[in-house]
Structure 1
């Protein structure tokens, strides 16, 4: 019975991994309780292909403790030559009735958010993506110090065309 269950688990893992042909990079960092406005989540990756276009995504896993219907993020993409491109982005995270957007069967939902589409990496080498939350309450100038409900932040790169 144990061997059968182990083989089933390995088979499911192989099946899941083999179906994701577009994935080039995919990583998550856990957020412990609250996401402080000064806490920066960073991902480092090596990219040597400067010809092929890629799609990049920010992945946010949040739960019912998330108190807002949107999220503001400051994202820095640092190139190997030290040039940094900074974007301030806003994404919807909940429906008008307060139910969370994203995929998931429990109270944790995962939102796959477009960051860059059909992008070519300008230089070969090591890149760093840094993500910081910049949520503010309506009418308030200072940002939310501690953002509740975000459990993980991820970054994903996909090839535009699937690799056969």
Structure 2
């Protein structure tokens, strides 16, 4: 597992990681797992989920299940829906060419108030309209990740 720590004068990003999906497909059974570095317990942070998709992604939105495990064992589970495309079909997000990266807000002004390591698991929960079973292989997803940024006090 790799962890990318970032420190720059131009950004508030202090940590992040990205995992590639094999064959640009995200199986419904695959959780993408991360660990957060030790963070200041007083200062609030914003946590984002990062999704990179290609033109092969067949939906205008995405459903994700995020599980945040606290150091002392508490688990926070959220089912999240994010818009990925405009009504005209153009992708949201940034990037040039066929790959777009979406920075999706997960936690705002969040305090990592328990000392120790936090763990984040992300899985996809996309379904076709009318289907009770989820999409087993979500096509067009190249990478899944997170970033943590310091909040700015204005």
| Structure 1 unaligned blocks of 5 or more | 1-15
The CA deviation string for residues 109-157 of structure 1, in whole angstroms up to 9 with x for no partner, is 0000000000111201101100000000111110000000000001110
Q: Whose helix fraction is larger, Structure 1's or Structure 2's?
A: 1
How far did 1:20 drift? 4.1
Given candidates 76, 79, 85, the residue that maps to 2:76 is 85
Query: For the structure 1 residues 20 and 132, does the alpha-carbon distance in structure 2 shift closer, same or farther, using more than 3 Å as the test?
Result: farther
Distance 1:102 1:117 in 2: 19
Who is 1:65 aligned against?
56
Given candidates 45, 49, 64, the residue that maps to 2:36 is 45
Distance 1:21 1:91 in 2: 24
Given that 2:48 and 2:104 are in contact with CA atoms closer than 8 Å, whether structure 1 keeps it comes out as yes
How far did 1:96 drift? 1.2
Cα RMSD, aligned residues only: 1.6
How far did 1:26 drift? 1.0
How far did 1:95 drift? 1.1
Deviates more, 1:48-57 or 1:16-25: 16-25
TM-score, structure 2 normalization:
0.90
**1:117 matched to 2:70:** no
Give the greater-gyration-radius structure (CA). Answer: 1
TM-score, structure 1 normalization:
0.85
